[in-house]
């Protein structure tokens, strides 16, 4: 089996939630081809999902040592640095990703989040407006300048509030993996436990990087550990809207 085949198989395991097996399989790819930038990038993603942030950071650095023009590697490295609360380094990494791929609204949104954490609110708002501008311009061409591979496989915790004439009628929290993303159909989440798939509007500005830790669900008492992203959505007369 070639290194590329191992990486493809590891990706399949990852998207099925089989993270340890995915990590083992991408390790086989790197044994076959040590200087495989994609292999180190995928290893970083899998380690990040397992909460092994320092090891993930090392994997991204090895990927970039082989190919430093990979915007995805810089973007993922910035996420890991932010999770480690190394926000200045995260900003430098996300800026490098933007240098390589300036038309990605999701990257600008993430930069906005980092700037907010650094207390640079004006710069954060400017980055957010840039993200909205990019999404709007590309929307005219029925395309959203978001790399869906950055979303698929991420674990999301969502708060849902149902309103009827501005009155709250129901509140609940759900969580699961992003199973697919389409700029027109929306963000599909495969809900934990039930396996049911729910589709939300493709409003990526409603997704926010989650701080590492335990999140206790108010409605069930269940604890969700280290989700990748969080979001709050409002359901109004069969319409879903998102907010931070």
pLDDT band (50, 70, 90) for residue 1: confident
Contact in structure between 114 and 94 (CB atoms under 8 Å): yes
pLDDT of residue 169: 67
| Cα 78 to Cα 87: distance, rounded to the nearest angstrom | 8
When pLDDT is averaged across residues 140-162 and rounded to a whole number, the result is 64
Pull the structure tokens for residue 172: 């609940």
* 195 conformational bin, left if phi > 0, alpha if psi -120 to 50, beta if neither: left
Reply yes or no on domain 3-139 having CATH 1.25.40.10: yes
**Is the pTM for the entire model greater than 0.85?**
no
Domain boundaries, the chain: 3-139, 151-243
Angle CA 105–107–108, to nearest 5: 65
Range scoring the smallest mean pLDDT among 31-45, 91-105, 220-234: 220-234
Q: Which residues neighbour 158 within 8 Å (Cβ) at sequence distance 6 or greater?
A: 173, 174, 175, 189, 200, 230, 231, 232, 233
pLDDT of residue 238: 52
**Per-residue model confidence as pLDDT tens digits over 190-215:** 887 777 888 888 777 677 777 767 78
Which residue in this structure is represented by tokens 């939630």? Answer: 17
Instruction: Please tell me whether residue 226 adopts helix, strand or coil conformation.
Output: coil
**Per-residue model confidence as pLDDT tens digits over 119-135:** 999 999 999 888 877 76
Provide the sign of the torsion angle of the four alpha carbons 94, 91, 243, 150, taken in this order. positive
């Amino acid at each position: 089996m070639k290194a590329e085949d191992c990486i493809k198989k590891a990706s399949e395991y990852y998207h099925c939630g089989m993270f340890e097996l995915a990590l083992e399989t991408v390790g086989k790819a790197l044994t076959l081809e040590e200087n495989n930038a994609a292999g180190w990038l995928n290893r970083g993603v899998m380690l990040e999902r397992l909460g092994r942030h320092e090891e993930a950071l090392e994997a991204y650095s090895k990927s970039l040592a082989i190919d430093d023009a990979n915007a995805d590697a810089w973007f993922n490295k910035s996420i890991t640095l932010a999770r480690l609360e190394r926000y200045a380094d995260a900003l430098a990494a996300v800026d490098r990703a933007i240098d390589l791929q300036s038309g990605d609204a999701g990257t600008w949104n993430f930069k906005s989040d980092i700037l907010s954490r650094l207390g640079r609110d004006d710069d954060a708002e400017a980055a957010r407006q840039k993200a909205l501008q990019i999404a709007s311009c590309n929307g005219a061409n029925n395309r959203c300048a978001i790399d869906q591979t950055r979303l698929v496989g991420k674990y999301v915790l969502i708060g849902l509030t149902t309103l009827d004439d501005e009155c709250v009628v129901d509140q609940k929290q759900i969580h699961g993996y992003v199973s697919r993303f389409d700029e027109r159909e929306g963000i599909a989440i495969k809900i934990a436990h039930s396996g049911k798939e729910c589709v939300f509007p493709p409003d990526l500005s409603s997704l926010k990087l989650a701080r590492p830790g335990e999140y206790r669900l108010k409605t069930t008492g269940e604890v969700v550990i280290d989700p990748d992203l969080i979001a709050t959505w409002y359901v109004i007369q069969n319409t879903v809207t998102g907010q931070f």
